[in-house]
Structure 1
């Protein structure tokens, strides 16, 4: 996690916050001493990580998923 002194962090705050939203947290330091850690609110906590596919095998998508309620939707739009 990168560290930025207060003056540097204040001049780059918008960019740093945008990066934190993408998962790149950072530390704000005063005279080289870490003061605060900034991370996105929905970022995983220490020791956790986001997992893709964690519901794999727990449900299935019907073959006709893209055609479900096709007639009803067409009727709503007068087609």
Structure 2
């Protein structure tokens, strides 16, 4: 089981915000309290994977030769109930 979250009172949190953010960026969870009672929890956000733009996966995903054939498109349309 992990260690308990670090706790700061509101005044400490105001004066040490940069340090708190640094700790959270490194995976820690921080609790902010008022008069000894926890009122807020600061947690790290999940990492966002940035793509380099359109086509960033070009050449990395195999596909069959008939991936865009009329027959394949008709099968997909039929799966979605789009063919009469």
TM-score when normalising by structure 1 = 0.52
Q: CA shift at 1:25, angstroms?
A: 1.2
List 4+ stretches of structure 1 deviating above 6 A: none
Q: Greater Rg, structure 1 or structure 2?
A: 2
Question: Is the partner of 2:20 in helix, strand or coil?
Answer: helix
Alpha-carbon separation, structure 1, partners of 2:45 and 2:27: 10
Is the partner of 1:36 in helix, strand or coil?
strand
Q: Match for residue 17 of structure 1?
A: 21
Instruction: List alignment gaps of at least 5 residues for structure 2.
Output: 48-84
RMSD of equivalent CA atoms: 1.2
**Per-residue deviation, 1:6:** 0.1
Alignment TM-score, normalising by the size of structure 2 = 0.49
Structure 1's unaligned 5+ residue stretches are 44-79
Q: Which residue matches 1:33? A: 37
